[in-house]
Amino acid sequence: MNDSSRAQGGLICAGTLIVGLVFAAGLLSHNWWAVAIPVAVLLSFVFGLVFWVGWTIMTVDIDPEQAPEPEPENTSESQANE
């Protein structure tokens, strides 16, 4: 791992702690925005994911299956068996 990856990981951890502390402070002060904002973000993510799955299913290009071609009969074998 290089130093850039470690720095990015550290920033993600620090950001998570800050957001968690702000959330906890909002809950302790009985501020309903502390719950409403995370729920709105989570629902937006879920709705976006479900829409993307539906869009993918709707727009997939499916080629119709072709019936297998019948094998040509070998006339030399059928004449040899007679």
* Three-class HEC string of 30-72: CCCHHHHHHHHHHHHHHHHHHHHHHHHHHHCCCCCCCCCCCCC
Predicted confidence (pLDDT) per residue in 20-72, tens digit: 998 899 889 998 988 899 999 999 999 999 999 999 999 988 887 877 777 77
Instruction: State if pTM tops 0.85.
Output: no
Q: Which residue has the higher pLDDT, 17 or 77?
A: 17
Q: In which band, very low, low, confident or very high, does the pLDDT at 75 lie, cut at 50, 70 and 90?
A: low
Q: Where are the domains of the chain?
A: 3-57
pLDDT at 56: 93
Residue whose tokens read 């019936």: 67
pLDDT reported for residue 49: 96
